[in-house]
Amino acid sequence: SIVFNIPTTDPGYDSGTGVWTIQPDSALPALTDDNTIIDGTTQTANQGDTNPNGPEIEIDGTNAGEASGFTIYAANNIIKGLVINRFTQFGIIITGSSANGNVVSGNYIGTDVSGTSDMGNTFSGVIIYTGSQDNIIGGTTPAERNIISGNDWSGVEIQGLGADNNIVIGNYIGTDITGSEDLGNSQYGVHIWSFAKGNTVGGATAEERNIISGNDWSGVGIGHSDSNRVWGNYIGTGVSGTEDLGNSHDGVSIVRSQGNTIGPNNFIANNEYSGVKIKSIETISNTITQNSITNNNSLGIDNVDGGNAELTPPIITIVTSTFISGTAPPNSTVEIFSDSTDEGAIYEGTVVADASGNFTWTGTPTGPFITATATDAGGNTSEFSTPVSSGVEDQARVEIPGAFKLFQNYPNPFNPNTQIDFALAEFCRVSISIYNTLGQRIKILVDKYLPAGHYNIHWDGKDAYGKQVAGGVYFICMRVDGFSAFKKAVFLK
């Protein structure tokens, strides 16, 4: 292992930034042995937190010649807690069939020591290359988060045959340290291509979420690569889900690739072209499911040149306050969305079309326009359908709430209906349920991802089975990640 304990008397120390800069005058030796740890956080442990904005050790490649910052040929190595910038090739390259199970975490790759300025590497920030598998870029804690921004190619590249089953989680890719300012890479945020398979970008939890925004091409690009998954990320927005940090092309672009899954729970917004673009007749069986896709400058989902077999979108024929009906490709899976225009900001639910293509979804729409997608048995997802008005007023979200809040229902006491207002400070999954005095949940009113904003729902005094509840006291419970609130409601009978 390599630990750091450099005194402040070292000529590489900058008292203004609190950072020790190391400028190699040639390429650093490659890591050819397994289980090597290069740990910049040991400088913090030994000398104190002299740079509260980030790592204390900067590896500056200005004088290194034609070189990458770190080259890894071996397994189970860890590189963490460093600033890696200004190399003429990659910040970090992990390559070869022996380079498996490595971890890159807690680094600033392509920025200055504050994480706010562009000092990019000439190629990509990190590349996982041919044959390298099971590597992890990032982690699930703030300390493990990489800032990978300002690089002249992509933030993270996964390229080549056998570059499989790698994971990219919990990073800011294309933003500054705050996750709210544009510091984009000059090509993709994440680029998976040239026969790399089975890689994962993001995950099921907020801790695994990548912010992939502000990049000069698409946020995520997949080309000639199959069976990868992109889920749970913010693509085109910042850490709160309210910032406009669109990528300069598509949110996600897929070309000549099959069997990739985009979703669930990506928030794909504000991108200059489409939210998700599927291009070419060879690009089939790519499933786009249960995301929030909205406010992109072109289509929310764009299947072109035969992409996803250009599966026919559903046709919505009836929208009421309690159900939505229409037609879709027979036996396809239909996902219902609501939006302020013609994309899919809010995933409402799923229903399967019958053998004749008819479907009916039961539920109450949230937004002013309803759209739908269809996914066939082969995994091809259509574009969004033509939007149909729901009759629901667009709930104004011009002013973003500063905090999560559940308001007291009104009227209270009530019979038979009561209104419930709540506020979301960021895009998140929110659950609002009714409980009785025994602590039993009797009805779920909301359980979905919603953008930041102010919302109003109602409870009709019925339980999950449609039966009128008995008179008495009930509790309205709101839960989001890291927040919960209760209000007491009285039903008169």
Q: What is the DSSP string of 144-174?
A: G--EE-S-SS-SEEEESTT--S-EEES-EES
pLDDT in tens, 28-65: 999 999 999 999 999 999 999 999 999 999 999 999 99
Percentage, residues of the chain above pLDDT 90: 92
Domain boundary among 211, 241, 272: 272
Burial class (CB in 10 A: 0-12, 13-18, 19+), 368: middle
Q: Per the domain annotation, does 342 fall within a domain? A: no
pLDDT digits (tens, 9 = 90+) for 278-326: 999 999 999 999 999 999 999 999 999 999 999 999 999 999 989 999 9
Final residue of a domain: which of 249, 272, 295?
Answer: 272
Mean pLDDT, residues 101-117? 99
Structurally, how many domains does the chain consist of? 2
> Which of 237, 253, 272 is at the close of a domain?
272
What pLDDT sits at residue 398?
52
Q: List, as one string, the DSSP characters of 51-67.
A: -TTS-SEEEE-TTS-S-
Give which of 314, 312, 260, 315 is closest to 282, Cα–Cα: 260
pLDDT tens column, 117-138:
999 999 999 999 999 999 999 9
Q: Which helix (H) or strand (E) covers residue 82, if one does?
A: strand 82-85
Does residue 310 contact residue 378 with C-beta atoms inside 8 Å?
A: no
Looking at the DSSP assignment, which residues form a beta bridge with residue 405?
423
Asked, for residue 162, whether it belongs to a domain, the answer is yes
Q: How far is CA 489 from CA 193, 412, 458, 476, in A?
A: 55, 6, 12, 7
Ranges of beta strands (E only) in 160-300 are 167-169, 172-173, 190-193, 200-202, 211-212, 220-223, 229-231, 234-235, 252-255, 261-262, 267-269, 276-279, 287-288, 292-294
Cα 256 → chain centroid: 23
Full residue range of the structural domain in which residue 157 is found: 13-272
For residue 466, give the amino acid letter: G
CATH (domain of 411): 2.60.40.4070
Asked if residue 217 is part of any domain, the answer here is yes
Predicted TM-score of the model (pTM): 0.90
The mean per-residue pLDDT over the stretch 3-28 comes to 97
pLDDT band at 366 (very low <50, low <70, confident <90, very high): confident
Instruction: Name the more confident of 142 and 396.
Output: 142
**Nearest residue to 268 via CA among 291, 240, 290:** 291
Confidence of residue 394 (pLDDT cuts 50, 70, 90): low
Is residue 242 domain-resident? Answer: yes
Q: Write the single-letter amino acid at 5.
A: N
- Please state the length of the chain: 493
Helix, coil or strand: residue 207? helix
Whether residue 43 is contained in a domain is answered as yes
pLDDT tens-digit profile of 203-241? 999 999 999 999 999 999 999 999 999 999 999 999 999
Closest to 182 (Cα-Cα) out of 120, 106, 144, 237:
237
Window from 185-199, 326-340, 447-461 with minimum mean pLDDT: 447-461
- Three-class secondary structure of residue 44 per DSSP: helix
Distance of CA 14 to the CA centre of its chain: 36
Looking at residue 396, its pLDDT comes to 47
pLDDT tens-digit map of 146-163: 999 999 999 999 999 999
Query: How large a percentage of the chain has pLDDT more than 70?
Result: 99
Distance, CA of 274 to CA of 272 (rounded, Å)? 7
Other Cβ atoms less than 10 A from the Cβ of 189: the count is 37
Pairing of strands 388-389, 346-352: unpaired
Q: In what order do the strands lie in the sheet with 267-269?
A: 13-14, 19-22, 57-60, 82-85, 108-109, 147-148, 172-173, 211-212, 234-235, 267-269, 292-294
Assigned domain for 133 exists: yes
What sign has the CA pseudo-torsion 327, 332, 333, 339? negative
β-pairing verdict for 267-269 and 292-294: parallel
What's residue 392's pLDDT?
Answer: 79
| pLDDT over 80 (residue 384) | yes
Q: What is the mean pLDDT of residues 94-113?
A: 99
Does residue 68 lie in a domain region? yes
Mean pLDDT across 364-388: 96
CB 112 within 8 A of CB 120: no
Residue 113 lies in a domain: yes
